[in-house]
């Protein structure tokens, strides 16, 4: 079974400690129960009970400590982290969030050469500590160029840090905060660690009303020694971006977890509710919405898992993951919104009820595509790879499923972030051509028209600088990459023809919708608009296939999971 079901969590793991972490985490939440989960959410209760559990069981120490700094099964294992992030998202965004910002806070530390700080960090994790990532500022967001946090030399070899940071999760309770700033006299970027217990640190406020603490903090003549510096110069810039590559990928897994729990709750409600003498799940529109939601959800998970394989297999000569990673950050999170929208259109007013998980899901699913400007930032990155992806394929090693118990060393030794134009990809069409399902063929035809447009009516200089135009084009290109990753993992996870065809039924309609949007952009040329019209296609009309997917895979999930009360 592809979707997480905590009541039947019988997945294979590479080692006993990994299974123990997942099972104990599930048991913690199921023992807590939905009533308490919801009460804590409504009252914005800081999740100390969860952090106490994490400390007592050594959860973050196992999951966040590289192999060479920990013991007892500790390693940085992206596949395992995906599983964990999905489980946390399944039970609530706040629990995922404290994990997520800990991952971000650890990135600059594990990427640095500061052994003393690394050893302190490993000890903090062993004691149950959490971490924070001091990058964003109120006036500038995550715009690194405009950072106003300044380190000024104080004359005795140390620095005084002055400035404030904003939107900093965990900063109220972090053991250390990895903080980005500039050295005043050289203009160099740097990362340094902040110990919040020291003089000169002030946690000013929580800027949100939530169980999370998303802080504004200020440093006032905060003393920073050379021993507190993690990295400076170009390396600090690279560290910031590489940390985002590792940490923000988790956004997709929160979306998958939230959408999965909401799906169970929605199908249970609809299948057991009767209107006009019929179960809600007998209405044609409800069946269609549930089937689309399920197809999107399965694709979300298989795409994110496949991107993880490429992250774990990356090296200096193979950085394909730098395309696949932002696809997860942007596309999986927005697909999560679509899943929730489909489900909400069926359950209607039920989605607002205060005792439902859906009440949280409908709110929290919106956050994930918006964190750090996820959609527009990541599409802008994605389109940088379009030329090489379509027109310059090369032979590259096939990447296997990577669920082995290995430490992902390269992620913390990636080096410079430059050179994206040199990254090459295997032939995407070799993946599509290996599948004969009718809707894969139609989707492949749509891709061919897109490629023809890029050859004969490529964006001009003005269009290439028009973010609105590029976002529309980027949505179409992203869908091509998304479909490739889905098909690769459909083979690995032995997804049947019916579901593959049903997923591409959704993809074809999405491709047509995005093409229509590009057609309507004011800067789209007449020639480009004609290509857009040619991209609009209708999926293969196979009523029997859709009915099989509905009956055997979608409706069969009713009453298979409900959280303990």
| Structure confidence at residue 255 (pLDDT) | 97
Distance from C-alpha of 468 to C-alpha of 556, rounded to nearest angstrom: 42
Please write the tens of the pLDDT for every residue from 140-154: 888 888 889 999 999
Label residue 42 by pLDDT band (50, 70, 90): very high
CA dihedral 366, 372, 375, 376 (to 10 degrees): 140
Write the pLDDT tens digit of every residue in 376-420.
788 888 999 999 999 999 999 999 999 999 999 999 998 888 888
SS3 label, residue 377: helix
Q: Counting beta carbons within 10 angstroms of the beta carbon of residue 188, is it exposed (0 to 12), middle (13 to 18) or buried (19 or more)?
A: middle
pLDDT in tens, 226-238: 999 999 999 999 9
Q: What is the mean pLDDT of residues 234-252?
A: 92
SS3 sequence, 352-370?
HCCCCCHHHHHHHCCCHHH
Confidence tier at 373 by pLDDT (50, 70, 90): low
Q: pLDDT band for position 30 (50/70/90)?
A: very high
What is the per-residue pLDDT for 399?
A: 97
302/68 Cα distance (integer angstroms): 30
CA 87 to chain centre: 14
The enclosing H or E element of 131 equals strand 131-134
Nearest to 78 by CA among 138, 162, 14: 14
Q: What is the pLDDT of residues 258-294, one digit of tens each?
A: 999 999 999 999 999 999 999 999 999 999 999 999 9
Termini Cα distance of the chain:
24
| Portion of the chain with pLDDT greater than 90, in percent | 92
Asked if the model's pLDDT at residue 225 lies above 70, the reply is yes
For residue 164, the surrounding DSSP H or E stretch is strand 159-169
- Residue 240's pLDDT band (boundaries 50, 70, 90)? very high
Residue 484 CB contacts under 8 Å (≥ 6 apart), including other chains: 428, 431, 432
Is the confidence at residue 374, as pLDDT, over 90?
A: no
| CA-derived radius of gyration, the chain | 24
Most confident of 183-187, 219-223, 246-250: 219-223
Name the average pLDDT for the chain.
96
- The lowest-confidence range among 24-38, 55-69, 236-250, 421-435 is 236-250
State whether residue 189 is helix, strand or coil.
strand
The set of residues, in sequence order, having a beta carbon less than 8 Å from that of 73 and lying 6+ positions away, is 15, 16, 17, 18, 62
The Cα–Cα gap between 94 and 80 comes to 20
Residue 256 burial (C-beta neighbours within 10 Å; 0-12, 13-18, 19+): buried
What count of Cα atoms within 13 Å lies in the side-chain half-sphere of residue 435? 29
Confidence of residue 155 (pLDDT cuts 50, 70, 90): confident
| Distance (Å) of CA 69 to CA 77, 85, 92, 513 | 14, 22, 30, 49
CA 445, distance to chain mean position in Å, is 29
Are 471 and 379 spatial neighbours (Cβ–Cβ below 8 Å)?
yes
pLDDT in tens, 160-211: 999 999 999 999 999 999 999 999 999 999 999 999 999 999 999 999 999 9
Helix H, strand E, coil C: the string for 486-522 is: HHHHHHHCCCCHHHHHHHHHHHHHHHHHHHHHHHCCC
pLDDT over 70 (residue 372) = no
Report pTM: 0.97
What gap in Å lies between CA 264 and CA 564, rounded to an integer?
13
Nearest-5° Cα angle at 491, 490 to 495: 50
Tens-place pLDDT, residues 529-548: 999 999 999 999 899 999 99
- Report d(CA 77, CA 434) in Å as an integer: 31
CA 463 to each of CA 208, 385, 468: distance values in angstroms, whole numbers, following the listed order: 37, 17, 9
Contact 211, 47 (CB under 8 A): yes
Domains annotated for the chain, with CATH where assigned, are: 6-130 (1.10.540.10), 132-233 (2.40.110.10), 248-392+424-556 (1.20.140.10)
């Amino acid at each position: 079974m592809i979707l997480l079901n905590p009541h039947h969590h019988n997945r294979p793991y590479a080692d006993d400690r990994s299974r123990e972490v997942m099972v104990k985490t599930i048991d913690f939440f199921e023992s807590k129960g939905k009533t308490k989960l919801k009460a804590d959410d409504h009252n914005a209760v800081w999740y100390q009970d969860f952090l106490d559990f994490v400390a007592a069981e050594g959860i973050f120490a196992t999951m966040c400590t590289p192999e060479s700094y920990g013991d007892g099964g500790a390693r940085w294992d992206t596949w395992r982290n995906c599983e964990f992030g999905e489980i946390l998202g399944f039970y609530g965004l706040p629990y995922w969030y404290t994990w997520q910002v800990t991952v971000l806070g650890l990135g600059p530390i594990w990427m640095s050469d500061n052994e003393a700080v690394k050893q302190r960090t490993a000890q903090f994790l062993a004691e149950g500590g959490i971490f924070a990532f001091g990058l964003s500022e109120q006036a500038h967001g995550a715009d690194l160029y405009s950072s106003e946090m300044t380190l000024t030399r104080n004359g005795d070899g140390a620095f005084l840090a002055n400035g404030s940071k904003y939107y900093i999760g965990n900063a109220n309770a972090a053991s250390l905060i990895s903080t980005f700033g500039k050295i005043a006299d050289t203009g160099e970027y740097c990362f340094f660690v902040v110990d919040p217990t020291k003089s000169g640190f002030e946690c000013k406020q929580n800027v949100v009303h939530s169980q999370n603490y998303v802080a504004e903090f200020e440093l006032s003549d905060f003393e920073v020694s050379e021993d507190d510096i993690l990295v400076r110069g170009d390396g600090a810039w690279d560290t910031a971006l590489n940390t985002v590559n590792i940490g923000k990928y988790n956004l997709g897994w929160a979306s998958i977890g939230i959408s999965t729990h909401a799906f169970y709750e929605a199908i249970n409600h609809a299948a057991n509710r009767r209107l006009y003498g019929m179960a809600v799940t007998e209405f044609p529109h409800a069946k269609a919405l549930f089937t689309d939601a399920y197809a999107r959800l399965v694709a979300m998970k298989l795409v994110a898992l496949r991107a993880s394989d490429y992250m774990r297999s990356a090296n200096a000569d193979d950085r394909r993951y730098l395309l696949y990673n932002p696809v997860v950050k942007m596309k999986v999170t927005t697909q999560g919104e679509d899943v929730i929208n489909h489900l909400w259109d069926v359950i209607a007013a039920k989605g607002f009820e205060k005792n439902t998980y859906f009440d949280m899901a409908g709110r929290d699913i919106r956050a994930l595509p918006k964190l750090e400007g996820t959609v527009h930032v990541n599409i802008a990155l994605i389109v940088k790879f379009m030329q090489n992806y379509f027109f310059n394929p090369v032979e590259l090693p096939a990447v296997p499923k990577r669920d082995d118990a290995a430490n992902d060393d390269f992620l913390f030794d990636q080096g410079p972030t430059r050179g994206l134009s040199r990254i090459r990809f295997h032939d995407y069409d070799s993946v599509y051509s290996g599948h004969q399902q009718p809707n894969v063929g139609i989707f492949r035809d749509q891709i061919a028209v897109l490629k023809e447009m890029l050859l004969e009516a490529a964006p001009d200089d003005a269009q290439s600088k028009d973010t609105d135009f590029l976002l529309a084009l980027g949505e179409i290109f992203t869908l091509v990459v998304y479909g490739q990753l889905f098909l690769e993992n459909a083979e690995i996870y032995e997804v049947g023809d019916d579901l593959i065809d049903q997923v591409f039924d959704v993809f074809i309609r999405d491709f047509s919708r995005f093409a229509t949007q590009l057609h309507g952009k004011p800067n789209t040329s007449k020639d480009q608009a004609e290509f857009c019209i040619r991209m609009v296609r209708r999926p293969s009309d196979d009523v029997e296939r859709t009915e099989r997917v509905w009956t055997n895979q979608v409706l069969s999930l009713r009453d298979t999971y409900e959280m303990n009360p």
